[in-house]
Structure 1
Amino acid sequence: MFGNRFPTAERPLLIRSARPTGFGAGFDQPVDVMIGKDGRVAEIGSMIAAGEDAKVVDAKGAFLSPGWTDLHVHVWYGGTDISIRPEQCGAARGVTTMVDAGSAGEANFHGLREFIIEPGRENIYAFLNLGSIGLVACNRVSELIDMRSIDIDRTIATVEANRDVIIGLKVRASHVITGGWDLTPVRLAKKLGRILKLPIMVHVGEPPPLYDDVLGLLAEGDIVTHCFNGKAGGSIIEDDDLYQLAEQAAARGIVLDVGHGGASFSFDVAKATLERGLPPKTISTDLHNRSLDGAVWDMATTMSKLLSLGMAFEDVVAASTTAPRRAIRLPAEGLLAKGKPAEFTLFDLVDADLTVRDSQGATSRLSRLFEPRHAILGAEAIAAHRHVPPEGGEGGGHVCPHCGWKS
């Protein structure tokens, strides 16, 4: 895979007095972590001598987790009217790995790779959109009008030429996108996924197709994003049959992903589903320029929302780190072992009194917040903090400068 592209550093990095979490058993006390110039873990212990040349980050007891991994973002900035710059949702927000969820199709993926993925400071991967044009003019020009929108041969060729960064296929299953085409795009994506031996990520939204029918087409490793959307006909709590199908899907290894976004996350749906014992497998933001200063803000705030709704701290961390890594087939075990590439997030859990919104405008108050301090990429410690939207944000007043869309 393409990841862990950390350049050789001039100085080693010592993280002092951090509390490991999300790495499995064996870390009951704060530890020091020395990272060599090569960007790999060199030593783990207590009171490690810094030496004369090491840069020291004093964690002061903050949590150290595997790097936060956002499974659903849109960062093909300049290539689509919906995408933001990677730095708006990456290391400066505590995120070390992100996955662009279908911004590019086969016709424009080369630009996403050359201008975004390769120069990126973070590890960036992509789901390739089934539609050849991707999200060039998102929701204004559909990428899935009919079969003229899909070139199967070129899609296969693009995946084969970019297997180091393309980790799956993305298809939007919603009548807003596909009109009356119903399940055909999902069937085509699943067929290509079988040929290419890759998972598919399916956006579920306004039916048709029905969320129920989409679940029936998926197999272990496939991903349903926007799993807690509150749209009529698409909410998994609005009828028991659909809820049971979702339970069965999760049991057979289908990944339920939050994919918050500007229109696809409901506090009520998430709370009810968590209370019934069906948590999301992965937490992601679906950050784009219509959600950044609206409902979503960043990864830390999205994680905090799930915590406030009753998800356990350890489960929130896993759903934001190792679970999405497994979903895209990255190593997820022994990440703090000696010799492993260093990719961590240093964060605190702080008291707060913050009003936030879901995608439908419902409000909630957060009393605890995930607060990123540093993203650790190799021997580089990048200062991080939560995104604070400008006045007029919080779900009400952001206007996209490119397309005029108001969130």
Structure 2
Amino acid sequence: MTGEQARKPLLLTNVKPMAFGAETPGSAVDILIDGNGRIAQVGPQLSVSHEMICVDGKGAWISPGWVDLHVHIWHGGTDISVRPSECGAERGVTTLVDAGSAGEANFHGFREYIIDTARERIKAFLNLGSIGLVACNRVAELRDIRDIDLDRILECYAENSEHIVGIKVRASHVITGSWGATPVKLGKKISKILKVPMMVHVGEPPALYDEVLEILGPGDVITHCFNGKAGSSIMEDEDLFDLAQRCAGEGIRLDIGHGGASFSFKVAEAAIKRGLLPFSISTDLHGHSMNFPVWDLATTMSKLLCVGMPFDKVVAAVTHAPASVIKLSMENRLAVGQRADFTVFDLVDSDVEATDSNGDVSVLMKLFEPRYAVIGSEAIAASRYIPRARRLVRHSHGYSYR
């Protein structure tokens, strides 16, 4: 996050805290944040002065700042990434975790042009492949062993350990060809050396979702956990479902990672009905998924609410859960002296039609509506993303919507 000069104190009034643990007040409060961005006072009906900037929460919820564990924001450095501003504070998200857009060969550019300039907190999973997603799916980053440089990965991490939270591997035949699970095994070895988690994209096999789960351990992340792809859906194979449930119980984190091709209403609803909830909710936002079908984190949260995930679990899945992956402390987030990092939001009645990655449509009867992202002493007005009209684009292999 960028440095911040002292500003006027900020007073948030009439907000209902949730997801702050045992310290959560039981009723609406006011929160005074000093000009240095730190909490000065919390309580009902705090005194107002002309020196303050006052923001009326109008009874909205306030939680720790939302964390999106899977986005692609190396804008200009890859052909699919969006700007942090398009999916960050203005959408109620205060922390963005880039999931492997940059590899060791270009992480320095990602740090200089994205991490160091964004108002949001930016963390990253480093792609196992040296080039990252420079030309995503057109020039795959993991074609063979020549695409991985172990020494340079270790060096890159040593130089950027405050920014890099883990290793990212895309385990799908459209990326690795017939290489199977070998990149996952290599990534796991590196993550053990660095003592960081690994995030693995599961999709079109090989590698098999089953194989990936067997390689991972507690603290690692499976993203696209509720995808509906043939050969990779946990609801088409009872053995795989049982394995996923056991692994989740042992500490492997199941992450949504919606994306353009990796979330199914039917799979999510069936899994949740059987008691298998995702650990974290993330968007996999990029230039090909923002306008269809993802939109933003609030809409993705609303989709999980729609298929049966409880309200409080949804909020935990964008706060405490992803924060634990990136080692972001959630302790005493409402305590005097802590730096302010909040999302103010409502849950409203709705009849919005939303689409999953398979083209199935559901009506969202309740919608998460972000109102503000509070970063230090700044309250940034936030709202859900309004998608632009899709256009049909011709490729050498056919057509797709953008």
Fold in common (TM above 0.5): yes
Alignment match, 1:289: 287
- How far off its partner does 1:6 sit? 5.2
Structure 1: gaps spanning 5 or more residues: none
Give 1:170's aligned amino acid. Answer: K
> Paired residue for 1:77, among 63, 75, 78?
75
CA–CA distance in structure 2, aligned partners of residues 154 and 398 of structure 1: 40
Alignment match, 1:53: 51
CA–CA distance in structure 2, aligned partners of residues 136 and 391 of structure 1: 26
Alignment match, 2:230: 232
Q: How does 1:89-238 map to 2 (within 5 A)?
A: 89-238=87-236
State, as a whole percentage, how many aligned pairs show the same letter. 58
1:21 maps onto 2:18 in alignment: yes
Inter-CA distance 6–336: structure 2 relative to 1 (3 Å threshold): farther
- How far off its partner does 1:83 sit? 0.3
Give 1:44's aligned amino acid. Answer: V
- How far off its partner does 1:40 sit? 1.1
Q: Give SS of 1:323's match.
A: helix
Alignment match, 2:320: 322
Alignment check: 8 A CA contact 2:269 2:307 kept: yes
Alignment match, 1:406: 401
Alignment check: 8 A CA contact 2:7 2:36 kept: no
Alignment match, 1:277: 275
Give 1:357's aligned amino acid. Answer: T
Alignment check: 8 A CA contact 1:294 1:398 kept: no
CA–CA distance in structure 2, aligned partners of residues 398 and 345 of structure 1: 35
CA–CA distance in structure 1, aligned partners of residues 195 and 48 of structure 2: 46
Inter-CA distance 12–303: structure 2 relative to 1 (3 Å threshold): same
Alignment check: 8 A CA contact 2:345 2:372 kept: yes
CA–CA distance in structure 1, aligned partners of residues 6 and 233 of structure 2: 48
Q: Deviations over 1:4-40 (max 9, x none)?
A: x551332010000100011123421000001111111
Dislocated runs of 4+, deviation >2 Å:
397-401, 404-407
Q: Deviations over 1:219-239 (max 9, x none)?
A: 111000000000001001111
Alignment check: 8 A CA contact 1:106 1:129 kept: yes
Q: Deviations over 1:150-171 (max 9, x none)?
A: 0110011001100000000000
CA–CA distance in structure 1, aligned partners of residues 115 and 47 of structure 2: 36
Q: Deviations over 1:223-259 (max 9, x none)?
A: 0000000000100111111011101111111110000
Q: What's the RMSD between the two structures over aligned residues?
A: 1.4
- How far off its partner does 1:399 sit? 5.2
1:299 maps onto 2:297 in alignment: yes
Q: Deviations over 1:33-77 (max 9, x none)?
A: 011111111110011112221100000100001101000000000
Alignment check: 8 A CA contact 1:6 1:378 kept: no
Alignment check: 8 A CA contact 1:12 1:34 kept: yes
CA–CA distance in structure 2, aligned partners of residues 116 and 405 of structure 1: 28
- How far off its partner does 1:333 sit? 2.0
Give 1:145's aligned amino acid. Answer: R
How many residue pairs get aligned? The number is 398
Alignment check: 8 A CA contact 1:8 1:39 kept: no
Alignment match, 2:8: 11
Q: Give SS of 2:19's match.
A: coil
Inter-CA distance 156–400: structure 2 relative to 1 (3 Å threshold): farther
Q: Deviations over 1:323-362 (max 9, x none)?
A: 1001111102221111111000000111111001000100
Inter-CA distance 354–156: structure 2 relative to 1 (3 Å threshold): same
Q: Give SS of 1:98's match.
A: strand
Q: Give SS of 2:112's match.
A: helix
Q: Give SS of 1:190's match.
A: helix
Alignment match, 2:346: 348
Alignment match, 1:249: 247
Give 1:48's aligned amino acid. Answer: L
Alignment check: 8 A CA contact 2:291 2:389 kept: no
Alignment check: 8 A CA contact 1:290 1:398 kept: no
Alignment match, 1:262: 260
Q: Give SS of 2:401's match.
A: coil
CA–CA distance in structure 1, aligned partners of residues 124 and 352 of structure 2: 33
CA–CA distance in structure 2, aligned partners of residues 347 and 398 of structure 1: 34
Q: Deviations over 1:169-207 (max 9, x none)?
A: 000000110011001100000000000001000000010
CA–CA distance in structure 2, aligned partners of residues 10 and 187 of structure 1: 49
CA–CA distance in structure 1, aligned partners of residues 401 and 302 of structure 2: 25
Structure 2: gaps spanning 5 or more residues: none
CA–CA distance in structure 2, aligned partners of residues 76 and 311 of structure 1: 31
- How far off its partner does 1:400 sit? 11
**Normalising by the residue count of structure 1, what TM-score does the alignment of the two structures yield?**
0.96
CA–CA distance in structure 2, aligned partners of residues 322 and 56 of structure 1: 28
Q: How does 1:347-386 map to 2 (within 5 A)?
A: 347-386=345-384
Q: Deviations over 1:302-332 (max 9, x none)?
A: 0000001111100000001111001111102
CA–CA distance in structure 1, aligned partners of residues 166 and 306 of structure 2: 31
Alignment match, 2:37: 39
